[in-house]
Structure 1
């Protein structure tokens, strides 16, 4: 019995070593033909009340703007997972609006405008599909 346990343990060790070997790194490495971008313009304003405004632009044409504001919302009466009633109450949430744009591989400018609030992330852009009405 001892020999059988040693044989099975040795086989498992051999299989685990084979599975743990490094993969072929040449096949997994991405090839990059672009040059690194640098930030050519950047602004950050963080206000004491939690609101902010930030933007940046890079040397390869990427532009990003993000504005954060606070919004008071009413959360309706509900029950938690344990059946405890949570009464209607107000909460302050962070709402972010902004945009970003970049050049696709064909040189077209791709632009996205968005709002992120109590309804989730809501992007809009000419290249994005639109839900049927």
Structure 2
């Protein structure tokens, strides 16, 4: 019985101890932070950190039209230093056309080979030939 009381007392003391203080020597400071939210649904924010990360974004709410094409139009940019030391910057918009990023680090598709481009142009100019043929029994 005494052993049970002793073990329960040790458990209470161990669980009741305050947690260790969080101390991160690599803590990155926030140099600037701004945020603005307006009653009309528009907003704007920006921040910069001590390790060179910068971001800003603004957006406006759009009223729904007859075809429910409302939504939000957003534009912004961010930049940071990549692990290899290069600077990465991205500018973007997001609206009814989707998310459209622009940056020199974004891969670009290779050009369409000339023969394939001619084939595409021919198919667009002759859509009637795209119809499947009916089989005869």
TM class, shorter-chain normalised?
A: 0.5 to 0.7
Q: Distance in 2 between the 1:96 and 1:118 partners?
A: 10
Q: Which of the residues 86, 106, 117 maps onto 1:108?
A: 86
Question: 4+ residue stretches of structure 1 with deviation over 6 A?
Answer: none
> What is the aligned residue count?
87
In 1, the alpha carbon distance for the partners of 2:28 and 2:80 equals 12
Is the aligned partner of 1:98 residue 2:84? no
Cα distance between partner residues in 1 of 2:44 and 2:97: 21
More strand by share: 1
TM-score normalised over the length of structure 1: 0.58
Q: What residue ranges of structure 2 are gaps of 5+ in the alignment?
A: 1-24, 113-137
Using the size of structure 2 for normalisation, the TM-score is 0.56
Q: Structure 1 residue 71: deviation in Å?
A: 3.1
Question: What CA deviation, in whole Å up to 9, does each residue of 1:18-67 have, x standing for no partner?
Answer: xxxxxxxxxxxxxxxx9232211010011100001100000000000010
Over aligned residue pairs, what C-alpha RMSD do you find?
2.1
Structure 1 or 2: larger helix share?
A: 2
In the alignment, does 2:28 pair up with 1:50?
A: no
The structure number with the bigger radius of gyration is: 2
Deviation, 1:91, is 3.8
Give unpaired runs (5+ residues) of structure 1: 1-33, 75-87
